[in-house]
A and B are shown apart, each in its own frame.
Chain A
């Protein structure tokens, strides 16, 4: 059996199933509430799996496995940062947000502050964050699919882009959620299978696996220091990850898809279990690849190490050239593809809601657009966002865009988190503080990266790859200082309303 054929069949099955789901969802996709929030019809556990599917990108699956295969301990330490942010989401963000918002983050800010300026700024931030993340996904995706399957870069970007447009425009949030759920299940199944195969070889003894890796690739693999030379930079990255998750628009809007704060809570716990388990298993993927495939072979295929997991799968099922090996590799390629599509669909719907719900409905139309108008605009917007994403993906060919993911988290932590927290928890907070905080957080994080080594390479003015340690305090400080220097909001009773709502769920959007 020709393995290329097998890979294509697998790919077509995934596409077929997801398109059927889109058709099923399209029949139910009739209002703005359906489009943005899946009609608030998801159960907590479903939303929890969908959050995992939204969050675990190809960069996690292939990138982190590669980082661990090449750098050992430092790669694993990096993966810890991807779970911890959810605790902040659970403790202080998810429930108030679900209780006091409708479709977007901006809803919560506009509740008691002056709607036009805060909505505009929040929508801009959402679009900026989603764009950075989208570029990283699209450019990475084109390269990865090209590597795995051999189809031209532009073709893979186009296929991914067209599919996500179809899911989002026709199926809205309901289809997007189920695509994410399917993808999370496929990704976890593949990761669990590879992990078990690796561990079984070592008799399920972690110490033997570590000893094997140390023997093959050197003891340094078990020790910090191979990847991160500057601890301050690493703390900076860690800060952005733990505080950025709670400001990530595409994660936060998922809480509007459930009927209550209790279900939002359940969602986060489910997501934490799945995401945590996944990142613990990245060790087995990475160390397995280092032991069985070897660093030289991995680097020969791709300098970034993205081929570590696929090559490991190929080896475990019989090796290169065997039927089993090629089949397993094709399976991983199909899973990676599903992974990318689910993430970009989530980003597309997020950017669309910021445009259509915040800017069009609430600012241009001042909230006076009919349901039908809003629904139409939302879908048009999604189509345009998707088209732009395809274009950006094609233009970005060959660029190194990996740093954009960390930058997206830094912007979320510096520009979004302070104002989300202050809006809900600080009575004295006002519009001037919110707008300045969002602006300063955005400019500081993006500016520092432009001046830093990721963009300016050796001519960098700032020797810090991750801006978080500077830009996050700046975002908080700007919000606080400007608030204290300007007059309080005159709408105290609006704050009381928000605060009671956020804490009790009384009168929350159903």
Chain B
């Protein structure tokens, strides 16, 4: 494997790197901010969090439970995208064997 720099400077690898970064970082950072909104709302927006939405179920509870579902959905989104990244990586693999 003496051609690391050849791979890293290849057009295909640069493309893979770019599409990966553009996909991974925005979602990660937005998700962190989204999660931090939960304690912030609980601290500074109590009336909103205490609002009853369905019967005795509060907005605050639904907002917290939604975090689990958003995390799961994003995990599946990642798996879908990662398969495409795998394809590009396999191409590189075959090309530079």
Partners in one complex: yes
A500 to B16, CA, bound (A): 10
- Using A239-B36, A504-B92 as known contacts, say yes or no to A280 and B44 having CB atoms under 8 A apart: no
Q: Is the Cβ of A235 less than 8 Å from the Cβ of B36? A: yes
Please tell me if A231 contacts chain B, counting CB pairs below 8 Å: yes
Residues of A within 8 A of B36 (CB): 235, 238-239, 242
**Which of A69-77, A115-123, A165-173, A399-407 is near enough to bind chain B?**
A69-77
Q: Is the Cβ of A80 less than 8 Å from the Cβ of B4? A: no
A95 to B95, CA, bound (A): 22
Residues of A within 8 A of B1 (CB): 497, 506-507
- Residues of A at under 8 Å CB distance from B? 73-74, 76-77, 80-81, 83-84, 86-88, 90-92, 95, 205-208, 210-211, 214, 222-225, 228, 230-232, 234-235, 237-239, 242-243, 262, 265, 268-269, 272-273, 276, 279-280, 283, 493, 496-497, 499-501, 503-507
- State which of A214, A225, A269, A496 has its C-beta within 8 Å of the C-beta of B79: A269
- State which of A81, A224, A501 has its C-beta within 8 Å of the C-beta of B49: A224
Q: Is the Cβ of B68 less than 8 Å from the Cβ of A235? A: no
| Interface pairs (7), CB distance under 8 Å | A90-B78, A222-B61, A231-B39, A234-B43, A237-B39, A268-B75, A505-B93
- Residues of B at under 8 Å CB distance from A? 1, 4-5, 7-8, 13, 16-17, 20, 24-25, 27-28, 31-32, 35-36, 38-40, 42-44, 46, 49-50, 54-58, 60-61, 64-65, 67-68, 71-72, 74-76, 78-79, 82, 86, 89, 92-93, 96
A258: shortest Cβ distance to chain B, in Å? 15
Q: Which 5 residue pairs across A and B have the least CB separation, nearest first?
A: A231-B43, A207-B55, A224-B42, A210-B56, A504-B89
Q: Is the Cβ of A224 less than 8 Å from the Cβ of B78? A: no
Number of A-B contacts (CB under 8 A): 163
Q: Is the Cβ of A223 less than 8 Å from the Cβ of B13? A: no
Which of A87, A272, A496 gathers the greatest number of chain B CB atoms within 10 Å? A87
In the complex, what residue of chain A is closest to B8 when comparing beta carbons?
A496
Residues of A within 8 A of B93 (CB): 504-506
- State which of B20, B32, B40 has its C-beta within 8 Å of the C-beta of A231: B40
Chain A interface, >50% SS class: helix
- Using A222-B56, A222-B58, A280-B65 as known contacts, say yes or no to A80 and B89 having CB atoms under 8 A apart: no
- State which of A205, A262, A272, A279 has its C-beta within 8 Å of the C-beta of B75: A272
- State which of A77, A205, A280, A496 has its C-beta within 8 Å of the C-beta of B39: A77
Residues of A within 8 A of B46 (CB): 223-225
A90 to B67, CA, bound (A): 16
Residues of B within 8 A of A222 (CB): 50, 56, 58, 60-61
Residues of B within 8 A of A95 (CB): 82
A88 to B70, CA, bound (A): 13
Q: Is the Cβ of B92 less than 8 Å from the Cβ of A506? A: yes
A185 to B40, CA, bound (A): 35
Residues of B within 8 A of A243 (CB): 32
A283 to B31, CA, bound (A): 23
- Using A265-B79, A265-B82 as known contacts, say yes or no to A496 and B4 having CB atoms under 8 A apart: yes
Q: Is the Cβ of B24 less than 8 Å from the Cβ of A91? A: yes
Residues of A within 8 A of B61 (CB): 73, 76, 210, 222, 283
